[in-house]
Chain A
Amino acid sequence: MLGTGLIKGMAETARNFVGSYFEADRLTTVQYPEERVPVKEAARSFPFLVFDGEDPEKGLRCVACQICEKECPPQCILIVKDTAKKPDFVGKMQFQPKIFDIDLSVCMSCQICVEVCPFEAIKMDVDFEMSRFDRFEGLLIHKRELSKSNGHFQKIHPTDAAAVDANLAAEKAKAEAKAAAEAGAKAKAAATAAAATIAAGAGAAAGTPATKPGIALPAAPAVPTSKPPTSPALPLTMPGQPTTAPAAISFVS
């Protein structure tokens, strides 16, 4: 019968119209600036630089390797290396960026910089309210503003951050174990000149190249050959566990 579909449709819209005044859960939208939908964990907007500890200069993980600058498809990153070096989280001396700029107007939020970074130094933020008053200089985000703490990373992407922290902790434990083994070998060599060849063999065994950071390590960290001097190797931790964050941050300080 002609017209029944129209009447059914109009009944449906009338139900919506009346229902929206009485059932609050019908309204699917929120009043944006006052109310907000919680950000999804997988959300990404714009890259930021992670730093450990309190000081964004000292704790910056970036070593100015410029891989992200080269890989960036729209070429929105500018890195200038500093001549001075600074120790990284395991204490090794590394380069640091003097200038690290990302052009907000060019960045396409593809996350490739994050994928290629071997140092877990650049991650994606979830902040989307980045409008600026200045169209040219204002859209060029400098290192100072890009640097955000590891705590912020843990807050916005808890699962990712926990995995990264576990990796870095394992890395650090391994490096410390290696350092301890080397120190032990040196001590042995100094003590007995006769056993120098054996000590050298042990040192070579302990000196196998460390797994690159950023690649997932096996669940069980390398068992140290001798007792480590400071903290023991941390096992893989679950997100949100309070022991992880301070431990990861305290590595630097």
Chain B
Amino acid sequence: MIELADQFFVLSKQQILLLMPVAAQPLASVLLSIIPIIGVFATLFALTTVLERKGLGRIQNRLGPNRVGPFGFLQPLADGIKSLTKEDVVPFRTDGVLHFLAPVLVMVAALLAYSVLPLGRNMVALDLDAGVLFFFAVGASTELAVFMAGWSSRNKYAMLGAMRAIAQMISYEIPLILSTVGVLMTAGTLSTTGIVEAQSGYSGLLPNWYVLTPWGFAGFFLFLIAATAEANRSPFDLPEGESEIVAGYFTEYSGFKFAMFFFGEYLGLFAANALAITLFLGGWNSPLAILDWVPSYVWFFAKLMGLIGLSIWVRGTTPRMRSDQLMNFAWKFMLPMSLVNVLAAGLWRFTGHGFLGWFVCGSLVAGSYCWLGVELSTKNSLKKRVYRFAT
């Protein structure tokens, strides 16, 4: 019974496939994997937009949207109808093909990343041996789409926004990938399902999740920060700083293309959060041995909702960073921290998982955190500006 509930979607897919003629089975198998992913995550996107607006409202002591449907939960439907029926304004001098392709590419890149994410036990669309590598390769093509949008718009604000976005995404790509190296070293595999299986089981009461090790804890937060920057969310939302550059790279987009950018951005955020769950939070595994009967996909989506809630909370708290602060943070804090973290993960392998390991790795990570933090906050404090060329 527990097994059936856990494998319900897997088994039902197999049953549907058996009804098909043999020639149609490969295509049907692909479609049966893709359509639920798109459907589920599109619904999650709709739910997140309304939850985010309501959460931000509560954080600012407002009520948030509460008019459309019960408690305002049909608001995304109204937003969708609005953006579908809006006029799609394409400026006269745009590079038409690129301008059209950019939002499509954002969506495609974000959706491709879902193919390697295990949503539950045996629930992965494409079980690649190099799944994590594939994820980052596909995720990096978002940058291309962003720059396509900025370049093809022929708008200085779009161009500036795209350049900011490129600088930011490339800078944060490095700590994003380096923070996962510890996991890959410990698990000994690049396959996402392999990493999740390496985290199954319990030592004492606690699960064997990588977040419960000193290097995994640091790596998890480094990964989350870098993923927030990759998804262009507050406090790293400089590419769309509306007070400076109108709306950044999607200044010249309207109607449904704008909605696609929005959708793609959220899909990217969900994918990054899902990878953080896969790498550090044990994927579909349950946190307690006595809760093992809960289906695996429930755990996965519960963790995903938790991380989405955290990102909404951070967005409601933090102001936008300055450009130089952003770069300093990436190169002077995130990069050294993630390198130290790789070292700590290596030491963890050889010091054993007991008190000695905790002491050595923990003090290495905590010490470098404190030292880098002091360095960053004292050496780079705001000084009187010196004008070298303007007098």
Say whether A6 contacts B318, CB under 8 Å.
yes
Query: Please, which residues of chain A bring their CB within 8 A of the CB of B370?
Result: 1-2
On whether A21 and B58 interact (CB within 8 A), knowing A10-B314, A10-B317, A27-B63, the answer reads yes
Determine, out of A11-19, A117-125, A148-156, A229-237, the stretch whose residues face the partner at the interface: A11-19
Say whether A1 contacts B62, CB under 8 Å.
no
Query: Please, which residues of chain B bring their CB within 8 A of the CB of A26?
Result: 61
Say whether A3 contacts B58, CB under 8 Å.
no
Measured between C-beta atoms, what is the minimum distance from B60 to chain A in Å? 7
Query: Please, which residues of chain A bring their CB within 8 A of the CB of B202?
Result: none
Alpha-carbon distance between A29 and B63 when the two chains are bound, in angstroms: 8
Q: B55 within 8 Å of A by Cβ?
A: yes
Residues 374-391 of chain B, each 1 if its beta carbon lies under 8 Å from chain A, else 0: 101100000000000000
Query: Please, which residues of chain B bring their CB within 8 A of the CB of A13?
Result: 59, 313, 316-317
- The tally of residues in B whose CB lies under 8 Å from a CB in A reads 20
On whether A14 and B373 interact (CB within 8 A), knowing A9-B318, A20-B58, A27-B62, the answer reads no
On whether A2 and B59 interact (CB within 8 A), knowing A10-B314, A14-B313, the answer reads no
On whether A9 and B317 interact (CB within 8 A), knowing A1-B370, A2-B372, the answer reads yes
Nearest CB to that of A14 among chain B residues? B313
Q: Of B58, B314, B318, which is within 8 A of A17 by CB?
A: B58
Residues 60-78 of chain B, each 1 if its beta carbon lies under 8 Å from chain A, else 0: 1111000000000000000
Alpha-carbon distance between A248 and B180 when the two chains are bound, in angstroms: 83
Q: B358 within 8 Å of A by Cβ?
A: no
Q: B369 within 8 Å of A by Cβ?
A: yes
Say whether A16 contacts B376, CB under 8 Å.
no
Say whether B373 contacts A2, CB under 8 Å.
yes
Alpha-carbon distance between A3 and B370 when the two chains are bound, in angstroms: 10
Q: Of B61, B63, B333, which is within 8 A of A31 by CB?
A: B63
On whether A2 and B369 interact (CB within 8 A), knowing A26-B61, A31-B63, the answer reads yes
Q: Which chain B residues in 310-354 approach chain A with CB under 8 Å? A: 313-314, 316-318, 333
Nearest CB to that of B376 among chain A residues? A2
Query: Please, which residues of chain A bring their CB within 8 A of the CB of B313?
Result: 10, 13-14, 17
Say whether A3 contacts B373, CB under 8 Å.
yes
Say whether B61 contacts A20, CB under 8 Å.
yes
Measured between C-beta atoms, what is the minimum distance from A37 to chain B in Å? 14
The dominant DSSP class at the A interface is helix
Residues 131-152 of chain A, each 1 if its beta carbon lies under 8 Å from chain B, else 0: 0000000000000000000000
Query: Please, which residues of chain B bring their CB within 8 A of the CB of A2?
Result: 333, 369-370, 372-374, 376-377
Say whether A28 contacts B61, CB under 8 Å.
yes
Measured between C-beta atoms, what is the minimum distance from B359 to chain A in Å? 21
Alpha-carbon distance between A3 and B373 when the two chains are bound, in angstroms: 8
Say whether B373 contacts A17, CB under 8 Å.
no
Query: Please, which residues of chain B bring their CB within 8 A of the CB of A20?
Result: 58, 61-63
Say whether B63 contacts A16, CB under 8 Å.
no
Report, nearest first, the 6 A-B pairs whose CB atoms are least far apart. Answer: A2-B373, A13-B59, A9-B317, A17-B58, A13-B317, A20-B58
Extra contacts besides A6-B317, A9-B318, A17-B55 (20): CB < 8 Å: A1-B373, A1-B374, A2-B370, A3-B373, A6-B318, A9-B317, A16-B61, A17-B59, A17-B313, A17-B316, A19-B61, A20-B61, A20-B62, A21-B58, A27-B61, A27-B63, A28-B62, A29-B62, A29-B63, A31-B63
